Structure 1
Amino acid sequence: MPRLTVVIPAYNESAVLAAFHARLSKVLGQLPMTCEVLYVDDGSRDDTWLIMQSLAAADPQVGTLKLSRNFGKEAALTAGLDRVDADAAIVIDADLQDPPELIPQLVEQWQAGYDVVYATRSARAGETSLKRFTAAAFYRTMDIMSDVAVPRDTGDFRLLSRRALAALAQLRERQRFMKGLFAWIGYRQTSITYLRSPRLAGRSKWNYWRLAQFAIEGITSFSSAPLKLATWTGMAASLSAFLFGLKVLLKALLRGDPVPGYPSLMVVILFLGGIQLLALGVIGEYLGRNYNESKQRPLYFIEEDHPPASQAPLHTEATRQS
């Protein structure tokens, strides 16, 4: 009988975990396969870990993993997938915006021969117009700039086959953009569409500052276009400045008019200075990425690891490094 593991990274999700697990258990109970659940606590500061432990105590198919601190969702997701020893894994958030009831459709496509089955949002209920606009702009920007085709309007909710998991485990870069990594590994991929529901309880951890950082992370991880853009912008600015200077010189030589003074000089200086700082900022982003990668720090540290009671421990080491 095939085995399926559902990985749920969570950070401060105590308000919704019990309701999520009740819906998830009902869905998994209907699947004709052995199902396990792995909750990953990404250094929560509320009762998330205690609730995870109570769920594991009541259900032998539930395992729990606690990171030593908040490493971020991408690292928590990686930690959970590193510990999957099944024929397939499903990644889903605990906030119930991604309905567990779609899992049978993901499994059906996997059994049809696909290695990655991702869920694409047809609409995003419960979100502001600004949030929907910025999300759409990000995915379309990634589609244009990225060297890898990242599916539009698609989050982390997806199924990965065993060989897709094995391929993903080889990608140990420190600056992780999981949506891009899922696409980068290739293999046969397909999608299903769904209406994303509003968050059941609690608050989103993604403010606009974190979303902006996440967007920069995604673009710089899978595209060198910003570096090329800085080059072309610099060339265009230099050409514009040269043509403007030539115009001023010819005007002074041919018509005897005085060279424009302070206002035009300040405009040119501020324009060129802004372009230079923008280019330096782009270069700094890529340089910082190389710096972080060169340190080769582990992606995460684990404080507690409790596999499902229905199986033997999968791993005994306290950390995963590569």
Structure 2
Amino acid sequence: MKNQLISIVLPVFNEEPGIQATIDTLLNYIEQQEEDYELIFVDDGSTDKSVQIINKALEQHSNIKLIEFSRNFGHQLAITAGLQYTKGDAAVVMDADLQDPPEVIPQMIEKWHEGYEIVYGKRIQRDGETFFKKFTAKMFYRVFRKLATIDMPLDTGDFRLMDRKAVNQLLKLHEQDPFVRGQVTWIGFRQTSVRYHRQERFAGKTKYPLSKMIKLALDGVISFSLKPLHFVNIFSIVPFVSAIFSLGYMIASNNFSLVSIGITVLLFTLGLLMLAIGILGSYVGRVLDQVNNRPRFIVSKTKGFEQRNKAIHHFSAQRINN
């Protein structure tokens, strides 16, 4: 629909090999649409020439905006920062590597016009990814649904469209380590999916190695589930019960050594205690992060927003004078 503004938020981290292709693809897509668009690139501390390429395109196209972090704060916080700067009637979050095809956005907008406030992309196929990554991602979503207190849809990433009121509610959440796709599920509203084929990365390497995937998974589970704590309570009974049965068996069979029994029980108990401490430490660490109340990210500079802000200020001044 004409006069509707759609904001597209694109986190960027060292995407020099493919960022120009992403810009060209999105600009070509925008030219064919009825809605107005703004492209908000969020640079998450890139050390290559990604920022220079975006700046060059920004000088030629007024609908391109840029937010630069002072350092690398992470993909999820880059999404959060980008959403804070959106002004659209709806906002789309997508990766900057063309794995999320722009051709899916009109389908999302169509669902939005039908009355859905959140439309997420559901991946039916993932090209260019190893069997290990596909398998672990599939297992994570299914395990997460068993553990979490929210019913997060399976096989979905951060590629989604959100209505303005959904974006406003999402921005009221202030977790230090946000798990955005979980937060979007938690806020509710009418949600539906659009099935799509996730493309192979156009260029460059993935910015989500195994270590970051594990951290994202842990952030998701710890943010939306207390079941690991419940597991600790259950496991705490195991050493005691095992020790009683083991001791009873050895006494009955008259084949035991107090030293071997003591060492076995001690090692088993220590292992469970270490597991319990590790799980509790993860939750306490998140509480500490919240109590410290540090800024979740620091924006060093923004570009492309100035003219729009001047227009808004001029409009407001006119209203006051009138």
Match of 2:4 in 1: 2
Structure 1's 142 and 313: CA in aligned 2 closer, same or farther, altered over 3 A?
farther
Cα offsets for 1:47-106 (capped at 9, x unmatched): 011111011111111111111111111111111100111200000101111111111111
Alpha-carbon distance in structure 1 between the residues aligned to 2:240 and 2:33 = 63
1:4 and 1:88 in contact (8 A); partners too: yes
Cα offsets for 1:279-321 (capped at 9, x unmatched): 11100000101001101111111111113576236999xxxxx
2:247 and 2:261 in contact (8 A); partners too: no
Q: CA deviation at 1:268?
A: 2.6
In structure 2, what residue type is equivalent to 1:134?
A: T
Match of 1:307 in 2: 304
1:60 and 1:308 in contact (8 A); partners too: no
Counterpart of 1:284 (choices 262, 276, 281) is: 281
Cα offsets for 1:232-257 (capped at 9, x unmatched): 111233222222223334x2xxx6x2
Match of 1:75 in 2: 77
Match of 1:187 in 2: 189
Cα offsets for 1:205-250 (capped at 9, x unmatched): 111112111111110010001000111111233222222223334x
Match of 2:174 in 1: 172
If the length of structure 2 is used for normalisation, what is the TM-score?
A: 0.92
Alpha-carbon distance in structure 2 between the residues aligned to 1:73 and 1:258 = 58
Counterpart of 1:214 (choices 213, 216, 219) is: 216
Alpha-carbon distance in structure 2 between the residues aligned to 1:258 and 1:42 = 64
2:265 maps to 1:268: yes
2:14 maps to 1:17: no
Q: CA deviation at 1:143?
A: 0.8
In structure 2, what residue type is equivalent to 1:100?
A: P
Structure 1's 198 and 177: CA in aligned 2 closer, same or farther, altered over 3 A?
same
Counterpart of 1:228 (choices 227, 230, 236) is: 230
In structure 2, what residue type is equivalent to 1:266?
A: I
Alignment of 1:37-76 (within 5 A): 37-76=39-78
Q: Give the root-mean-square deviation of aligned CA atoms.
A: 1.8
In structure 1, what residue type is equivalent to 2:28?
A: K
Alpha-carbon distance in structure 2 between the residues aligned to 1:263 and 1:13 = 58
Q: Helix, strand or coil for the counterpart of 2:15?
A: coil
Alpha-carbon distance in structure 1 between the residues aligned to 2:269 and 2:247 = 13
The gaps in structure 2 that reach 5 residues or longer are 314-322
Alignment of 1:94-133 (within 5 A): 94-133=96-135
Match of 1:35 in 2: 37
Q: CA deviation at 1:262?
A: 4.5
If the length of structure 1 is used for normalisation, what is the TM-score?
A: 0.92
Q: What count of residue pairs does the alignment treat as equivalent? A: 311
Match of 1:159 in 2: 161
Match of 1:319 in 2: none
1:27 and 1:103 in contact (8 A); partners too: no
Q: Helix, strand or coil for the counterpart of 2:236?
A: helix
